Chains A and B, each alone.
Chain A
Amino acid sequence: MTNDVYTYTFKKAQLQKAGKKVFMVGLLLLGGLYSTRLCAQVNVSGKSGLIYIPTAEVQDDRTFSAGYIYNPINYAIKFNKRNSESIYFVNLVVLPRFEVNVNLLRPNGTIPFMEGGIGDRQLDLKYVFLTEKAKRPSVAVILSAPFGVDNSLLTHAVIATKHLPVAKSITAIVTVGLGSPYSVGRRTNTNDILSDFALEDKRDLPYHYLTGPFGGVNINFASKGGVMVEWDSQHLNVGAYALLFKHWTVQAGLLNGDQLTMSTSYSLNVFQLPKRIRKHGKA
């Protein structure tokens, strides 16, 4: 019996590996179909941003991105110092300057049965109400929808971002913002997502995400990669990222000089006609 179990685990790991390989090849093939340049540097919840903090950058209309973020145990947002976290997201520019982000936060490892759910689902809305001009930064507001129960990764913030050319093909992207410690959520899960609202204070949670002033700088080299430093309202974090094959971003960050976070995301514009007929259409 024991043998059986060991064989099983081995097989499972092998299969998972094979599955991942096939998936990656598929992803690369898919990447070959599209050619627009996209910069998709994302934060912990999958929005344009640095490591933890979001920015007010405007993505092209109809840009879709999806990805995964690993958040380490000491800085875990849900079960702080108990379970590291996996965060999955999709993000779509639904209208020019308006983005919808759907993310799912799942604690890694074992957790007590009663606390087990699928994880935290969030629907976040971002609107860039001022676009960047010569002397003006872009300004955006991000709000998590108030339908959730027992929330953790919430964003309620106003952000300003400005691109400053440093040298040829080097740009400093400077961001400052203010996160609200207050949020609105629901007390219980009922059949009515518009009922039972309550005002919550994020500072009651074991770990505070974006409660207060934050800011950071992203130094981008020719849209191919960059380095970042940020104050996330609690800690000082540094990180680096690279954009591969024009669509695939990989990044890593060191939180508070202590633990590593990592993420990967893929981004493409869904408004694309096949290449063979593109000269006729404008899409």
Chain B
Amino acid sequence: MGRRDRDQVGAWMRKTSILWVVWLCFVTIGFAQQRNTLQHFENVSVDSARHLVAYEQRLYRNPVVGLLELSELLAPLGVNEFIPLYQGVPIARYRLGETITTTILSRKERADWVRERKFDSRRYKLDFRLQPEFIAQFGFRERPLESKTNLLLQSQLYLSRGLVLNWGVLFPIVNHLDNQSLNVRPAPTFLNQFLALDGANFMSLSAGLFYNDQYGVNVQYRHTDLTKNWSFGLESGYTGFYYFPQSGFYYESLQNLIVLADVAYRIPSRDVTIKLSGGQYMYQDRGARLDVIRQMGNVEVGFFAVKTGDGTTGGFNFAIPIPPGRIAQTNRVRLRTTEEFRWEYAYTRGYSIATRYRVGYQLDALLRQYQQHYLQNQYQ
């Protein structure tokens, strides 16, 4: 290691120690804060005649936590039916009794819903989320981990029903992966429209600057009845490379077309999803991928194998919430850590096998969190 390297390591140590301390402060504040549970929820509307409540919660990765918290809060009102919203759009109706009964919402019910309730973005907080980003590959002995680690301060602007502008600021911490400088820059900024076409058909449309230095458009469609085990989906995207140098904005033309289809089966008793997907990945790499994913409460762990023209590999991935969650909140503003940190490790590196980029959420991952059995398996 040269002296310059050591200086860098020293600087990195200093930075990370500070981060740890800041994190600990947050944890302490998070615990110490007076609990005002209703503040965890947004866009809450109670229909006491039908014992029903519609609400949105962005704090917990696991919808069961919000559901049970709210049910305890609203028990005196006799509320036992819950409609969680995602970006203002109802997902399904859940009745809490001896078990959780899931009812999907028909096209007519959804149309009535839209007619009865005007969307009001003031019913949402200005929500700031701290999201670490860790892009890494296991390198060589001199530097076992080549990483690009950033801390993102992100927020969402609710524009209309289902339409959200994701934006934020990216604070770079370390970069041993490529030669991008450590300049503070905009975090991925993009529009996302979430759509529920009827009870079992959902769409997610995104446009803007995504993660992994790709900008463009991405469309996802999924057919999934939240009470059934089979589901299938389609995804397509057209993107190009971009990044923020020290000053200005650099981008290349749109050139990466991805077209992917998948079919998934869920083993309800174990919360295991087996998903077979295939098509064209980035850099015109075509092939197929098998995922086995298990949902374990707040955490999700998956294993995968993939075979494409560029090679064959496998690995694992996980999604975890980052403690402490809520740091400080009022009725209007909130600072919190991310509800989901997602990471994937592939055994092989350097061959760009089945490469893809990330948008805000994947439709299949979002919807399986609202699957009847996943909720039921954690209930009573």
Kindly state whether residue B331 has any CB partner on chain A within 8 Å. Answer: no
From B17-25, B81-89, B125-133, B205-213, give the one contacting chain A.
Answer: B17-25
Tell which of A12, A102, A192, A273 touches B68, judged by Cβ atoms closer than 8 Å: A273
Beta-carbon contacts of B17-37 to A below 8 Å, as 1s and 0s?
A: 100110110010000000000
The reply to whether A119 and B144 contact each other, CB–CB distance below 8 Å, is yes
Give Cα A194 to B306, complex, Å. 11
Interface of A is mostly: mixed
Contact A118 B140 (CB under 8 A): yes
Chain A interfacial residues counted at CB < 8 A: 46
Instruction: Decide yes or no: A26 and B24 within 8 Å by CB, A95-B294, A281-B380 being known contacts.
Output: yes
The reply to whether B270 and A95 contact each other, CB–CB distance below 8 Å, is: yes
> B residues 311-332 with Cβ under 8 Å of A?
311-314, 316, 323
Q: Which residues of A contact B65 (CB under 8 A)?
A: 273-274, 277
**Contact call A117/B140, Cβ cutoff below 8 A:** yes
B72 at the interface (CB under 8 A from A): yes
Q: Which residue of A is nearest B64, CB measured?
A: A281
A129 touches B (CB below 8 Å): no
- Complex Cα gap A162–B303 (Å): 31
Closest chain A residue to B141 by CB distance?
A116
A18 at the interface (CB under 8 A from B): yes
Question: Which residue in A92, A121, A193, A283 is a CB contact (below 8 Å) of B301?
Answer: A92
Q: Does B245 contact A (CB under 8 A)?
A: no
Take A95-B272, A280-B380 as given contacts and tell me if A25 and B24 are in contact as well, using a CB distance cutoff of 8 Å: yes
Bound form: Cα–Cα A48–B27 in Å: 32
Chain A residues closer than 8 Å to B378, beta-carbon distance: 271, 273, 281-283
Within the assembled complex, what's the spacing in Å between the Cα atoms of A271 and B300?
A: 10
B348, A270: Cβ atoms under 8 Å?
A: no
Give chain B residues whose Cβ lies under 8 Å from the Cβ of A19: 13, 16-17, 20
B168 at the interface (CB under 8 A from A): no
CB atoms of A270 and B299 under 8 A apart: yes
In the complex, A29 Cα to B324 Cα: how many Å? Answer: 11
State the Cβ distance, A283 to closest chain B Cβ, in Å: 4
A181 to B: closest C-beta gap in Å:
25
Whether A15 contacts B14 in the complex (CB less than 8 A), given A192-B312, A193-B347, comes out as yes
Contact (A272, B141) CB under 8 Å given A191-B351, A193-B313: no
Known A-B contacts A116-B141, A195-B312, A280-B68; A94 and B10 likewise in contact (beta carbons under 8 Å): no
List B contacts of A33 (CB < 8 A). 323
A166 interface contact, C-beta 8 A: no
Interface footprint category on B: 35 or more
Chain A neighbourhood of B9, CB < 8 A: 12
CB under 8 Å from chain A, chain B span 62-80: 62, 64-65, 68-69, 71-72
* CB interface residues, B 31-74, toward A, < 8 Å: 62, 64-65, 68-69, 71-72
| Chain B residues closer than 8 Å to A116, beta-carbon distance | 140-142
- B20 near A271 with CB under 8 A, answer no
Closest A residue by C-beta to B298: A270
Provide the bound-state CA to CA distance between A190 and B310, in Å.
11
In whole angstroms, what is the CA distance A149 to B196 when docked?
Answer: 48
User: Which A residues are CB-close (under 8 A) to B272?
Assistant: 95
Residue contact A191 to B24, C-beta cutoff 8 Å: no
Q: Which A137-163 residues sit within 8 Å CB-CB of chain B? A: 147
With both beta carbons as reference points, the residue of chain B lying nearest to A5 in the complex is identified as B3
- List, in ascending order, chain A residues with CB within 8 A of B72's CB: 277, 280
A22 at the interface (CB under 8 A from B): yes
A147–B10 alpha-carbon span in the complex (Å): 36
Complex: how many Å from CA A249 to CA B72?
37
Interface presence of A30 (CB below 8 A):
yes
How many angstroms from the CA of A29 to the CA of B316 in the assembled complex? 28
Give which listed residue, B17, B68, B297, B310, contacts A191 with CB less than 8 A. Answer: B310
The answer for the CA separation of A192 and B314 in the assembled complex, in Å, is 10
Which chain A residues border B353 with CB–CB below 8 Å? 191
Whether the Cβ atoms of A277 and B68 lie closer than 8 Å is yes
Contacts of B6 in A (CB 8 A): 8, 12
Whether A22 contacts B21 in the complex (CB less than 8 A), given A192-B312, A280-B72, comes out as yes
B113 nearest CB across to chain A (Å): 27
Does B379 make an interface contact (CB < 8 A)? Answer: yes
The answer to whether B138 has its CB under 8 Å from any CB of chain A is yes
A106 touches B (CB below 8 Å): yes
B141→A94 contact, CB < 8 A:
no
Chain B nearest Cβ from A55, distance in angstroms: 23
A164 close to B (CB within 8 Å): no
Let me know if A270 and B296 touch, CB within 8 A: yes
Residue B139 lies at the interface, judged by CB distance under 8 Å to chain A:
yes
A199 interface residue, CB < 8 Å from B? Answer: no
Closest to B9 in A: A12
Residue-wise, chain B 140-156 has the 8 Å CB interface mask toward A (1 for contact) of 11101100000000000
Question: Which residues of B are interface residues toward A (Cβ below 8 A)?
Answer: 3, 6-7, 9-10, 13-14, 16-17, 20-21, 23-24, 27, 62, 64-65, 68-69, 71-72, 138-142, 144-145, 270, 272, 294, 296-299, 301, 303, 307, 310-314, 316, 323, 347-348, 351, 353, 377-380
The 4 closest A-B pairs by CB, nearest first: A191-B311, A116-B141, A191-B351, A277-B68
Given A116-B141, A272-B298, 18 new contacts (CB under 8 A): A8-B7, A12-B9, A15-B10, A15-B17, A19-B17, A22-B21, A22-B24, A117-B141, A118-B138, A118-B144, A119-B141, A191-B313, A191-B353, A194-B307, A194-B312, A274-B65, A277-B68, A280-B379
